[in-house]
């Protein structure tokens, strides 16, 4: 049965398609002081801490807006005057952290690698040895602009060896890929409501070590992004300092319940891996090449090179897929002539198989019948 184009499945890096039950929560209007809303907020905060095994030592602080707001809040609140941040970038979201530091006036250094190449521990260590003023390292765990997975455990080990504080942009990994606060000992991990947790857009979260937050009073020069003040207010009142996105937060609480019911991060990762495998195998059978070698690829999103066939047009591919009820995403400027297909959200392997059939139909519409089979992934 063809998919209804009026109810498209989002195969994008976020926002993602969410369950009907998560959407239905937003049909009920709730005041911010409502008992049920307060219970939803409390549950979501506790559940996020439980995902990283951070009970008693961590707290989850919501920041209305996208996860970029939460990343900025973490940098502004946790990097004190006199501190210096070492950033890594191999894509758009690493560059976004640089933009934040520029806007805040936060001192920083940058370790840059190619868009499809993760950094090595040796590269980070060389930066630390060359610049002992560095106090914090911030890493994008999964660089969503390509799908590459960066080596978080190795960076965490270096932070512990050199007594540096670790901040994690876990926007595209939290809720699927393991983040254990007991071994990583991060000061903060940032996530989005609308990625692997499968909520709707509108709130970012920072899961923050309590000891790091307790020492951050007065660091932030923004009223609305001050995580210390937000946490203090929540401890006193159980609520937000300012009007919260009530529909979004309650939908997120429902998404957290469904995350737990699915089996938590391990089960969600297993489903995403099945989706990714079906996607990549199907695309290679049609002759498309992946950008990121399989060894460094996350099962969150896959990036494909646009074929050089004269009949190919991404605009035509996008429009044809949308007519068939699937929404895909163009590549970023860091990687020209690429496009991305997401594997996360309320998506099953059968949905990916259906999307592959739709994509093959669109290729036929463009007059492309053979790109050549791709046997191996960018090895």
Q: What's 139's DSSP letter? A: E
* Average pLDDT along the chain: 94
**Per-residue model confidence (pLDDT) at position 244:** 96
Between CA 339 and CA 379 the distance in angstroms is 19
Domains and CATH numbers, the chain: 9-16+264-365 (3.90.1150.10), 21-262 (3.40.640.10)
- Span 39-82, pLDDT tens digits: 999 999 999 999 999 999 999 999 999 999 999 999 999 999 99
| Cβ neighbours of residue 75 closer than 8 Å, sequence gap 6 or more | 85, 97, 100, 101, 104, 106, 138, 167
**Per-residue model confidence (pLDDT) at position 375:** 46
| Cβ neighbours of residue 39 closer than 8 Å, sequence gap 6 or more | none
Q: What average pLDDT does the segment 267-272 reach?
A: 98
Ramachandran region, residue 198 (left: φ > 0; alpha: ψ -120 to 50; beta: rest): left
Give the pTM. 0.94
Token pair, residue 329, equals 């995403």
Q: For residue 334, name the pLDDT band (cuts at 50, 70, 90).
A: low
């Amino acid at each position: 049965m063809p998919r209804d184009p009026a109810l498209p499945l989002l195969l994008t890096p976020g926002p993602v398609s969410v369950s009907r039950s998560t959407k239905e929560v937003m049909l009920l209007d709730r005041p911010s002081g409502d008992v049920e809303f307060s219970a939803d907020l409390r549950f979501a905060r506790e559940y996020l801490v439980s995902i990283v095994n951070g009970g008693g030592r961590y707290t989850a602080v919501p920041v209305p807006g996208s996860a970029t707001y939460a990343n900025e809040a973490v940098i502004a609140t946790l990097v004190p005057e006199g501190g210096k941040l070492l950033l890594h970038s191999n894509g758009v979201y690493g560059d976004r952290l640089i933009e934040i530091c520029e806007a805040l006036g936060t001192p920083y250094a940058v370790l840059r690698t190619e868009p499809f190449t993760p950094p090595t521990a040796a590269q980070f260590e060389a930066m630390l040895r060359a610049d002992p003023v560095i106090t914090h390292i911030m890493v994008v765990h999964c660089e969503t602009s390509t799908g590459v997975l960066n080596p978080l455990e190795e960076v965490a080990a270096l932070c512990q060896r050199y007594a540096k504080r670790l901040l994690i942009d876990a926007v595209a990994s939290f809720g699927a890929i393991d983040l254990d606060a007991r071994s990583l000992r991060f000061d903060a991990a940032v996530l989005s409501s609308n990625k692997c947790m499968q909520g709707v857009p509108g709130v970012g979260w920072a899961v923050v070590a309590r000891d790091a937050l307790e020492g951050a009073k007065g660091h932030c020069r923004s009223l609305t992004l001050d995580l210390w003040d937000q946490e203090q207010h929540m401890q006193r009142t159980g609520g937000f300092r300012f009007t919260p996105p009530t529909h979004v937060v309650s939908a997120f609480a429902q998404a957290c319940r469904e995350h737990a019911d699915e089996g938590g991060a391990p089960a969600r990762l297993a489903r995403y891996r099945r989706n990714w495998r079906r996607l990549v195998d199907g695309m290679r059978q049609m002759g498309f090449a992946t950008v990121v070698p399989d060894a460094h690829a996350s099962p969150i999103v896959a990036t494909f090179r646009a074929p050089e066939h004269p009949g190919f047009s991404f605009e035509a591919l996008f429009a044809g897929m949308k007519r068939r009820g699937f929404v895909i995403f163009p590549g970023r400027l860091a990687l020209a002539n690429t496009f991305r297909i997401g594997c996360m959200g309320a998506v099953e392997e059968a949905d990916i198989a259906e999307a592959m059939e739709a994509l093959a139909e669109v290729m036929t519409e463009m007059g492309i019948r053979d790109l050549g089979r791709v046997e191996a992934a960018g090895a």
